[in-house]
Amino acid sequence: MNENRKDVHRETLTTRQGHPVTDNQNIRTVGNRGPGTLENYHFIEKISHFDREEVPERVVHARGAGAFGYFETYGKVGDEPVEKYTRAKVFSGAGKRTPLMVRFSTVAGAKDSPETARDPRGFAVKMYTEDGNWDLVGNNLKIFFIRDAMKFPDMIHAFKADPASNVPNPQRMFDFVSRTPEATHMITFLFSPWGIPATYRHIQGSGVNTYKWVNDKGDAVLVKYHWEPKQGIRNLIQEEADAIQAKNVSHATQDLYEAIARGDFPEWELYVQIMEDDYHPELDFDPLDDTKLWPEDQFPWLSVGRMVLDRNPVDFHAEIEQAAFGTGVLVDGMDFSDDKMLQGRTFSYSDTQRYRVGANYLQLPVNAPKAPVHSNQHRGQMDFRNPKESGESPHINYEPSMIGGFQEASKEERPPHRPAYNAAVMSEPIDRPNNYGQAGETYRKFADWEREELIKNLSEALAVCDKRIQEAMIGHFTQADENYGRRVKEGIEKKMKEIEQMGTESKAPGREAGISKYGEGS
Ligand code: HEM
Average pLDDT over residues 267-279: 97
Average pLDDT over residues 370-394: 85
> Has residue 518 got a pLDDT over 70?
no
Ligand 1, atom 30: closest residue by C-alpha: 122
- Band (pLDDT 50/70/90 cuts) for residue 510 is very low
How long, in residues, is the chain?
522
Q: Is the CB of 60 under 6 A from ligand 1?
A: yes
DSSP string across 112-126:
T--TT-SS-EEEEEE
Average pLDDT over residues 253-260: 98
- Band (pLDDT 50/70/90 cuts) for residue 6 is low
Q: Give the number of other Cβ atoms within 10 Å of residue 48's Cβ.
A: 9
Answer yes or no: do 105 and 38 share one domain. no
Answer yes or no: do 160 and 223 share one domain. yes
- Which residues are known catalytic residues? 61, 139
* 347 Cα to the center of ligand 1, angstroms: 11
Answer yes or no: do 329 and 460 share one domain. no
State the CATH number of the domain containing residue 34.
4.10.91.20
Q: Is the CB of 59 under 6 A from ligand 1?
A: yes
CA–CA dist 382, 448 (Å, integer): 56
For a mutational test of ligand 1's pocket, the pick from 136, 137, 146, 209, i.e. the residue with the most ligand atoms closer than 8 A to its C-beta, is: 137
- pLDDT at position 360 is 96
Ligand 1, atom 28: closest residue by C-alpha: 138
Q: Are 209 and 337 in contact (CB under 8 A)?
A: yes
For a mutational test of ligand 1's pocket, the pick from 59, 60, 319, i.e. the residue with the most ligand atoms closer than 8 A to its C-beta, is: 60
97 occurs within a structural domain: yes
* 314 Cα to the center of ligand 1, angstroms: 24
> Has residue 363 got a pLDDT over 50?
yes
Closest CA to 201 of 264, 126, 246: 264
- pLDDT at position 517 is 39
Q: Give the number of other Cβ atoms within 10 Å of residue 6's Cβ.
A: 8
Range of the domain at 46: 12-53
Amino acid at 513: A
Q: Is the CB of 349 under 6 A from ligand 1?
A: yes
- pLDDT at position 513 is 39
Q: Given 363, 389, 405, which residue is the final one in a domain?
A: 363
412 occurs within a structural domain: no
- pLDDT at position 48 is 93
**88-134 pLDDT per residue, tens:** 999 999 999 999 999 999 999 999 999 999 999 999 999 999 999 99
- Band (pLDDT 50/70/90 cuts) for residue 394 is confident
- Band (pLDDT 50/70/90 cuts) for residue 411 is confident
- Band (pLDDT 50/70/90 cuts) for residue 515 is very low
Q: Is residue 41 marked as binding?
A: no
Average pLDDT over residues 137-154: 98
pTM, two decimal places: 0.94
- Average pLDDT for the chain: 93
241 occurs within a structural domain: yes
- pLDDT at position 233 is 98
Atom of ligand 1 nearest to the CA of 356: 13
Atom of ligand 1 nearest to the CA of 66: 37
- pLDDT at position 70 is 99
259 occurs within a structural domain: yes
> Has residue 504 got a pLDDT over 80?
no
**38-93 pLDDT per residue, tens:** 899 999 999 999 999 999 999 999 999 999 999 999 999 999 999 999 999 999 99
Q: How many domains does the chain have?
A: 3
Spell out the residues 6+ positions from residue 73 whose beta carbon is closer than 8 angstroms to its own: 82, 90, 91, 92, 93, 94, 95, 96, 98, 304, 305
Atom of ligand 1 nearest to the CA of 61: 34
* φ, ψ (nearest 5 deg) of residue 117: -60, 145
Of residues 387 and 51, the one with the higher pLDDT is 51
Average pLDDT over residues 21-30: 95
- Band (pLDDT 50/70/90 cuts) for residue 8 is low
Answer yes or no: do 156 and 18 share one domain. no
> Has residue 388 got a pLDDT over 80?
no
ipTM of the complex: 0.97
For a mutational test of ligand 1's pocket, the pick from 105, 180, 343, 349, i.e. the residue with the most ligand atoms closer than 8 A to its C-beta, is: 349
Atom of ligand 1 nearest to the CA of 153: 19
Q: Are 295 and 339 in contact (CB under 8 A)?
A: no
Q: Is the CB of 210 under 6 A from ligand 1?
A: no
> Has residue 516 got a pLDDT over 50?
no
- Band (pLDDT 50/70/90 cuts) for residue 325 is very high
Answer yes or no: do 37 and 115 share one domain. no
473 occurs within a structural domain: yes
Half-sphere exposure of residue 463: CA atoms within 13 angstroms, side-chain side: 21
State which H helix or E strand residue 224 sits in. Answer: strand 220-229
Answer yes or no: do 188 and 242 share one domain. yes
* 348 Cα to the center of ligand 1, angstroms: 8
